[in-house]
Structure 1
Amino acid sequence: MKIDKKHLLNYSILIPYLILSIVGLIVVYSTTSATLIQYGLNPFKSVINQGMFWIISLLAITFIYKLKLNFLKNSRVLSLVMLIEMGLLLIARFFTKQVNGAHGWIVLGPISFQPAEYLKIIMIWFLAFTFAKRQKLIERYDYQALTKRRWWPRQLSDLKDWRFYSLVMILLVASQPDLGNATIIVLTSIVMFSISGIGYRWFSALLSVIVATSTLFLGLISLVGVETISKVPVFGYVAKRFSAFFNPFKDLTNSGHQLANSYYAMSNGGWFGLGLGNSIEKKGYLPEAQTDFVFSIVIEELGLIGAGLILAIVFFLILRILLVGMKSNNAFNAMISLGVGSMLLMQVFINIGGISGLIPSTGVTFPFLSQGGNSVLVLSVAIGFVLNIDASEKRERIFQEAEDNYHSRMSDEYMKEQAKIIKLREEDDKEV
C-alpha cells in the first residue's frame, strides 16, 4: 500500500504559517518604506528581499517535506552539519566586522547570513538525535544516562559528549555577543533535556535554578550599577539594555530611547490602532522598528485587538506543533516537534517581554513579522521538519491500523476454522 505524503499534509500548521508569513511581508513594508523613501531608495527594497527569502523558504519546506526521516537520523549528515555550523560560528566571531557593537554577520557580496540563527534548529536536531538514541538507558538510569561523561574532554572519545558540543557553540554565540539567541538556545536546550525522558523533578530543579540565578544577577546589577557591569568586555554592549530595563526614562537620549519610544508606540495604538502604515514612532523615533521592536509598531498601527489576533495565530501554530510532538510515538519525532514549539514560544516570550519592559531587551526578533531573511528561513526549515514528522507519524499509524485489521481478520477466520474443526470432531465422536 502506497500513501502519497501530499494527502497527509497538516494544514492546521501550514495555513497559520502562510498567514503569518504574508502578514510579515506587509509589516516589513509598513515599517521600512518610510525610511527608504526618506533616503531616496526604492520603498519595496526590504520587502522584496524578505519575499525572496520567503520563496527560498517555501522551496526548503517542500524539499524537507519530501525527505525520508531516516535522512535526519543519519549521524554522518548531522556531524557534517554540526562541523560546518561550528566553523561558521568561529568565522562570524573572529573574522567579521562589528555591526551595532556585535559580531555575527557573514557577508558574501549582496548576501549576508547569521550562523547563530541556524544554530537554534541545529541544536534541536542534535539534541533530539542524541537523546532519542539513549531512551532505554534513560528509562533505567534516569538523568545519569545523559551525564555519565565528564564536562571537559580528557580523551578523544569524550568529544562525543553532547554537553561539550552544546557548551562550545553557546559560548561562541554569547561571545559575539548575541545574548538573545544564546538565551533562546539555552532555554530550548533545557526544555529538550527535560523532555528527554528524565524524571519531571529535574525540570523543576532546573527551572528553580534559572529563576534564582536570574534574580540574583539582576539584583547584583542593581547593586553594583550598570556602569560597573559595562566595564566587563562581554557585557559592554548589553549594559545599556539593563540600564533601560531598570529605568528607561532616566536616559531618554541614549540607553532608554528605544524602550521609552516602544511604550509611546503601544500607547498611541490603543484598542484599534492608528491604521496600517500610519505609525508615528517608525519615522525615526524608534530605531530598528522593523526588527526587535516590530511588535510595538504592530500595536501602534493595528491596536491591541489587531495585535492580539496576530498573537492568537502565533499561539495556535505553536499549540499545533506541540500537539504533533505529544502524539508522536517515536522519541526522535516527539523531541524535534516539542523542541521547535518551545523555540517559537521562547522567542515570542523574550521579544514581547523585551518591548514591554518585563525583561531586559536582548535583540530577539518577533517570529515571522520582523525583517530578517535568515530568521524566516530558519523558522520555515523548522516548520518543514514538523510537517514531515507529522506526515510520517500519520502514515505509520495508517500502516499500523491496516496491519492490526489484517491480523484481526486473520484471527477471526482462524477462530472460525477452529470452531468448524471442533464441531466436526464432536460430531465424529458422537458417531463413534
Structure 2
Amino acid sequence: MERAVTAQKKKRKRTGTTKYIDYTLLLMIICILGFGLVMLYSTSAYNATLKFGSSIYYLKRQAMSAGLGFVLLYICVKLDYHFFAKFAGVAYLLATVLCLAVNFVGTSSHGSSRWLNIAGFSFQPSELAKVAVILYLATVISKRPMAMRTFKGNIKLLATILPIFVVVAYNNLSTAIIIVGIAFIMVFISSPKTAPFILAFVGVALLAVVFIFGTYRQERVQIWLHPENYDTGYQTLQGLYAIGSGGLFGKGLGESIQKLGFVPEAQNDMIFSIICEELGLFGAICVILMYILLLWRLLLIATNAKDMFGSYLVIGIMVHIALQVILNIAVVTNSMPNTGVTLPFVSYGGTSIMFLIAEMGVALSVSKSAHVET
C-alpha cells in the first residue's frame, strides 16, 4: 500500500501537477483595480470638486469599498469553498427578498430605485442577486448532474431563476439581463444537448424583440439608432466624441475634455469612453487584454477544479465578468442600446466592486484545491 502511494506521488511530481493558489489571478485583479482607481480619479476629479468640494471624493469612496472587498476576499480564500454551498438556498431567497424590498423602501437615484439604506450604508441588492444566482446554480447543477442531461431538467432549473429575474427586471433590466445570461450559459454548459438550447435561445430572442418594440423601451432602440434626434441621446454622442478624439494613443492621462461636464456621470457607465480619449485605441486594447487574461485565469481554474461545484462556481464568475465587460463596451461604443452596465473593477460603484472582489476570493479558494499542470 505504501509503495502504491509513493509511486502515485512520484508520478504526480513527474507530470508537474501541484496544489497552489493562483497568484497570477490575484496579480491581475490588483492590476485592473489599480488601473481602475487611477482612471476613476482622472475621470471624476472635476465633477467631484464641483459637487462635493473634494477632487478625491469618488476615489476615496471607491478605495474604501475595494478595501472592504479585499477583507471579504481574504475570508473567502481562507474558507473551503464548499462552505458556501450550505447557504445557496438562503442566499438566493435573501437576494430575492432584498430586491423586492427595493421596490417599496428603496432610495432613488437618476430616476431609478435600486438602493437600500441599511444603518446609513447604501447597498444595491441586485449585485448580491448575481452572486446568489451563481452560487445557487453551481450547487444545484453539482448535486443533480443526471437531471442536467435532460432538457426538461434544464428548463426546470432555469424556471427557478424566474422569480428573481422578474423582481430585478422591474427596476433594473440591465442587471436582470446579466442574471438570465449567467443562468442560461451555466445551464447550457452543464447540458450535453445543444439543439434544444439553440431553439430556446431563438425563442427568447424573439420574445425580447417583441417586448422591446412593443413597450416604452422602443424609445431606447430609436435613441440607439438615431441619438442625434433625442435629448437623451446626448450622453451617447458625447461618449462617441470622446472615443473619436482619442485617436491612436490618446490625449494623455488627465487631459480629457469630455469629462469636464460633457459626458454626464462619466465615472460610472461611460468611463471606457474617457479611457479611449485619454489613452487612445492603444489604451483601450490594453484594457481589453487585461480582461482577457483575467478570464483566461478563471477558465484555467474552472477547468482544473477538483469537483463540479468548484468548476461551476468559477464558470459563473467568469460569465458574470465577461457579460458585463461586453455589454458595457458595446453600450459605450453604441453597438447596442443603453443598458446601464458598469465596467468591472473600473466604473464607480461601491457595492459592485465589493462583490466583484469577493467573487475573486471564491475563485482563489477554488484554485487552492485545483490540480494544474505546471
Same fold (TM over 0.5): yes
What's the counterpart of residue 364 of structure 1? 341
Q: How many residue pairs get matched? A: 358
Q: Decide which of 162, 170, 195 is 1:175's aligned counterpart.
A: 170
User: Offset at 1:131?
Assistant: 1.3
Matches within 5 A, 1:290-305: 290-305=267-282
Gapped regions of structure 1 (runs ≥ 5): 2-6, 149-161, 222-228, 399-432
SS at structure 2 position matched to 1:112? strand
Task: Note the 1:120-269 alignment, pairs <5 A.
Answer: 120-139=130-149, 142-147=150-155, 162-163=157-158, 165-176=160-171, 178-215=172-209, 220=213, 229-230=215-216, 235=217, 240-251=219-230, 254-269=231-246
Give the aligned partner of residue 226 of structure 1.
Answer: none
Indicate if the aligned counterparts of 1:89 and 1:173 stay in contact, CA closer than 8 A: yes
Q: Distance in 2 between matches of 1:108 and 1:175?
A: 21
Residues 116 and 123 in structure 2, CA contact (< 8 A), matched pair in contact too:
yes
**Does the Cα contact within 8 Å between 1:337 and 1:386 map onto a contact in 2?**
yes
Amino acid at match of 1:250: N
Instruction: Please identify, of 270-279 and 90-99, the stretch whose mean Cα deviation from structure 2 is larger.
Output: 90-99
How far is the alpha carbon of 1:217 from its aligned partner? 5.2
Q: Does 1:103 align with 2:98?
A: no
- Cα distance between partner residues in 2 of 1:99 and 1:306: 31
Structure 1 distance, partners of 2:296, 2:237, is 32
Residue 419 (structure 1) aligns with: none
**CA distance 1:83–1:280, change in 2 (3 Å):** same
The one of 70, 77, 83 equivalent to 1:65 is 77
Rounded Cα–Cα distance in structure 2 between residues aligned with 1:275 and 1:289: 17
Distance 1:119 1:85 in 2: 5
The superposition leaves residues 70-89 of structure 1 with CA deviations (integer Å, 9 ceiling, x where unpaired) of 31222xx2232223222211
Q: Distance in 1 between matches of 2:106 and 2:123?
A: 12
Counterpart in 2 of 1:12?
Answer: 24
Task: Give the alignment's Cα RMSD to 1 decimal.
Answer: 2.3
- In structure 1, C-alpha distance between the alignment counterparts of 2:159 and 2:205, rounded to whole Å: 24
State the alpha-carbon separation in 2 of the partners of residues 199 and 329 from structure 1.
Answer: 24
TM-score (norm: length of structure 1) = 0.78
The question of 1:89 aligning with 2:99 is answered yes
Which residue in 2 is equivalent to 1:402?
A: none
The answer to whether residue 274 in structure 2 is matched with residue 274 in structure 1 is no
Q: Distance in 2 between matches of 1:268 and 1:41?
A: 29
Q: Which residue of 1 aligns with 2:34?
A: 22
Normalised to the residue count of structure 2, the TM-score between the two structures is 0.89
Equivalents in 2 of 1:326, 1:302: separation in Å?
Answer: 35
Q: Indicate the SS of the match to 1:43.
A: coil
- After TM superposition, give the deviation of residue 164 of structure 1 in Å: 5.1
Do the aligned residues in 1 keep the contact of 2:114 with 2:124 (CA within 8 Å)?
yes
Mean CA deviation greater in 291-300 or 27-36: 27-36
- Point out where structure 2 has 5 or more consecutive residues left out of the alignment: 6-18
Contact 2:158-2:184 at 8 Å conserved across structures: no
d(CA) in 1 for partners of 2:233, 2:223: 4
Inter-partner Cα distance in structure 2 for 1:185 and 1:368: 18
Residue matched to 1:407? none
The residue type equivalent to 1:242 in the other structure is V
Aligned equivalents of 1:366 and 1:47: distance in 2? 16
Does the CA-based 8 Å contact 1:243-1:255 persist in structure 2?
Answer: no
Residue 73 to residue 96, structure 1, CA distance change in 2 (3 Å): closer
Note the C-alpha offset of 1:13: 1.1
Separation (CA, whole Å) in 2 of partners of 1:147 and 1:267: 44
Percent of aligned positions that are identical = 28
- Provide Cα deviations, 1:210-233, integer angstroms capped at 9, x if missing partner: 444455556x46xxxxxxx33xxx
Find 2:61's aligned residue among 49, 63, 71: 49
Tell me, yes or no, if the aligned pair for 1:131 and 1:146 is still in contact at 8 Å: no
Q: Which has the larger radius of gyration?
A: 1
